[in-house]
Chains A and B, each alone.
Chain A
Amino acid sequence: MKNRLLILSLTLLILPVMAEGQPATDDIVSSCILSAGENTTYLKDFRIQLPKATPGGIAPVYKANLYLMKNMKYRFSVCNAPGSNGDLVITLYDQGKELISSYNRDTGKKYGSVDFVCNKTGLYTIWYDFVNGEQGSGVGVVCMIR
């Protein structure tokens, strides 16, 4: 009987811990899609989980290449997972040149989303990182603006 209780207790204790260790779930993605606004259509999502930057080191970054199409308007939204230490930032690059970012490093201003009116079809790179290289997890959602 004691063994049974012990095993059940351990199972109940371990399961939530394991679940918490997972990257952002579908629930966060869903709420992030909703936060993008009514005039948008969901296209893609990226689930980000990055460690804290080492002292003096470069902040960890999640990079993805994405074709964006001419005559399309895109909205890039970022949402932090509950318990995330850092604030998620999206930065869009075209051939190594920064186009737009949801975080202004000079003023410290943060945006929950940024819009990009695309006139050149091509391969762009999106970078996701956390402000000041903090540890964090969150979701980046790409939507098309109708």
Chain B
Amino acid sequence: MTGTITKIAAVILLASICSCKNSGPRQGSLSFPVADSVPAGEAEKLSEEALADIVQNIASPVEIASILQSMQVPFSAGYLAPTREADKLTTNFQKAVMLGIYGADLGYLNIYEKTGNSVEVLSTIKRLADGLRVGQYFDFETLKRLSVSKSNLDSLLFLSVNSYNQIDRYLRDNDRGSISALMIAGVWIEGQYFATQVALDNRDEILRDRIGEQKIILGDLLMLLRPYSTSSSEYQTLYGMMENMSRKYADVRVSYRLGEPETAEVDGRLVMVQHEESIVEMSDAQLAEIAEMSKEVRNTLISGI
């Protein structure tokens, strides 16, 4: 009897240790053999710090969606990836990329407060996350409740972003960086798709600048994908397409104009206005080529490589 109680207490303690770790900066200590892990010898590993920097800096779909909203571009469900094919995804490669793509769609839906529409996307994300064995980081019920009630956009964004961050950390901590990189790539590709498709129909300098500036981010993304680029034919195809996209950016120029910043206290808050400026030079033809390539990459991924 005493032995049974001791075991129960040990299990409770172990479970609490594991669950406490999940709220820390580095999640999870469990590891299990998975087909998608790439042995360290096969992948030229980036430092943990470099990886964190790249992941932190991939353009947030929330920022892109916010620009579209400020341009008064109406919401269009046509920009969203279809969810009906999601159950047919068989490989971890496809699931991970689509997890990223649907994540960007969720950001777009949230910013436009089309939260009622997001339940289907949320359900799909949950199924994909479960399929990749990271569903435990996705608080589906709370997200669904917040979506349906349209109660608090920030809470919804926080929970969504937090779920993706936790999945990313867990994957990287468990030698599944290849899957994490695909998820990040999916987020970027879908954000890039939104931005470029809208830019073709709406001339807006801020949006054009944002698309041009992705030249820098794309360089980081290629660095993130490179270690796994030869790990499978699917990866090889994706990496090849991203390199083609990078070539489309080759002649886009980003230059800088110097200026001194101004700082003032406004309503008890310190505000700095920067006068140093970045300037993007991108022609209509370059934009059209980048938009076409972005669409091609995104649609290839959605239809399954």
Contact = CB atoms under 8 A, between A and B. Distances in A.
Is the pairing of A and B real?
yes
Interface of A: 3-4, 7-8, 10-11, 14-15, 18-19, 22-23, 25-26, 29-30, 33-34, 40-45, 47, 49, 64-67, 69-72, 92, 94, 99-100, 102, 111, 113-123, 144, 146
Instruction: List the 9 shortest-distance A-B pairs measured between CB atoms, nearest first.
Output: A115-B271, A117-B273, A67-B57, A100-B272, A120-B278, A7-B9, A114-B270, A119-B274, A121-B278
B23 A25 contact: yes
Given A30-B158, A33-B158, A111 B20 contact: no
A64 to B, nearest CB: 7
A4 B57 contact: no
A113 B272 CA distance: 12
A91 to B, nearest CB: 12
Contacts, number: 137
A67 B209 contact: no
20 contacts: A3-B2, A7-B5, A19-B20, A22-B24, A25-B23, A29-B158, A30-B158, A42-B154, A43-B60, A43-B161, A67-B59, A67-B216, A70-B277, A111-B269, A113-B269, A115-B270, A119-B273, A119-B274, A144-B63, A144-B66
Contact of B270 (A34, A49, A111): A111
Interface residues of B, number: 53
B150 interface: no
Contact of A44 (B56, B59, B274): B56
B123 interface: no
B209 A102 contact: no
Contact of B261 (A47, A65, A99): A99
